[in-house]
A and B are shown apart, each in its own frame.
Chain A
Amino acid sequence: MKYRKLKSVALVALSMTLFANSAQAETLRVGMECTYAPFNYRTADGELTGYDVDVAKGVSSLIGAEVEFVCQKYDGMIPALLANKFDLIVASMSITEKRRKKIDFSSPYRISVGRLVGKKNGNFNLFNADGSVNVDGFDGVKVGLERASTYENWFVAKVPDANILRYDNNEAMYLDLQNGRTDVIMTNPMKAFLKFLSKEDGAGYEFVSPAINETEYFGVGVGIGLRKGNDELLGRINTALKQLTNDGSLEKYALKIFPFAIHPDKWVDLNY
């Protein structure tokens, strides 16, 4: 039994090296949660769909590889990749220094941003025309955000005198926004859209800021993960992602779900 298992592992490893060397008839096994709507999840018909799924399909078709999805719990994602259960992680995984010690990442295909939500026609004057912060505009404006989130770090750095209300969870923050205890909230625009703005409760509210994506505070974003030492594959993935960014495919994938794009507006090269 043990021997057979060993043998199959050896076979997989062998086939992997073969595939990496020959670009044709290659199958890329992609790990994702399959339960993380709207990025990777199954529809009622059992079909895998979402932004991550579109990206994985887009990349593999440009590379000329078949794609095969493997569902894996998020907390075991990196160990499973390292154990060769699949070849790529396309699971909305943020690129962090800690993870980069274990695996390689492609350039980001989705960004981490923050955005302010407030009442429609609230006459906010929080940002200048060029998208920079208008510090004076925050006079007398109460800003709700989650305690110790990246948004708090950004806010304290940019508008030190802002009147910040710190919440322990999102629900309380949205309740207070609707009650009028806080004037604006800073949050993840994708969540804000899916859970609030697109719902009845959020009808009187809108984004009152541009997307704020300073990587110094919010990180570079979400990338495709792969085992270290696959530089050739990494190169091909990056080329494919660059093409998907430039030809508008990534925007198209996002617009299926959100009324805005969620990829970096400028091509980001991670320095390895």
Chain B
Amino acid sequence: MGNAALIKVVAAREITQQMRSKAFWVSVAVTALMLALSFGATTLFQGGGDGRSKVGVVGKQAALTPALGDRAEVSRYENDETARQAVRDGEIDAAVLAGDRIAVLRELPEDLGRALQEAHRAVGQAGQLAGHGVPAKDVPGLLTVEPLKVSTLDPDADRVQQRTIAAGTGVFLLFMLMLVSGLAVAQGVAEEKASRIVEVLLAKVRPWHLLAGKITGLGAAALVQMLVLATATLSAAIGFGVFETPSDALGTGANLLLWFIPGYLLFITLYAVAGSLVSRPEDVNHVVGPVNALQMVGLIGPVLAVSGSTDSATLRILSMVPGTSWASMPVRMAYEDVAWWEIGAAFGLMALAIAVLIRVGSRIYTGGLLQYGGIVKVKDALAGARQ
């Protein structure tokens, strides 16, 4: 039997077991649902619903009503006290009192504050103009000033922002997926070791066949999971109108996937190696900590990009370093033109890191698998592999 055939048998078992696992499908369904809902919720908040503020006016402040226009719903009150009571009772958001004062329960919302001040200024200026003998019919015309127009020099600004957010969200999704399948790999390796199945397996295959089979098998299962999630997420995002140009989303998605594959290889190998160091599945959490932490560092880049710090040097460095580049580079590529040599170097460094890791990792894995008693030290596992 060739190497490929052996790896295929190992991988097929992993895929079948994953696909038959209820937990696998429940986690897919729950994550997909959460993502779809989060897009729905975002749209809802952005739309704001019927968010018109309610304002109470006392006496002469009723003059503000036409100036506020449709920016607030205005009610009149007899005196300051009834208006204050209405604020306390939550009937209105703010009351403009007789002595040019605004009463709010705790804080004046910024938008409402601006609207009230503008209305107050307009009414005041109209009064001053009238005082200077300007006929009432001319006042609105004199007070109307065309607002400054903003012109966006980058015609794609919105698209770039959407792409960046999409890439950031995608990376987070893949991060979760990697975390879940990474833990599954570590747990699976530890279980095989604890139940001594590994002895039967090693009588038939080499450790690296097992490692490669696990990585490809669980990788394929993760891919299925990801496609289901991506379909659900993209449909929801496009459905809720998050993207102006759905083709951008698909392009960003494809690029993410391209970078995810080497990232996945790197981390899953680390998780498998970590799993081979423990003797009991319960101890897995103790050894995957450092791998989880390294993965968390990967999220820094996307977070910087999404929060607008796109020219950060940290982000540029993270997009080149193996272990974090899988997450940062596709996000960078979503908002700027990255030089081809940077892309090539990041990919090359990643490939190099994987090659070294698989070589060293499979030695630790080999040595770790047949040593028992607590958590095996990496040094002892390497020494064990030489034996």
Does B associate with A?
no
Q: Which residues of B contact A (CB under 8 A)?
A: none
Binding site for B on A (CB under 8 A): none
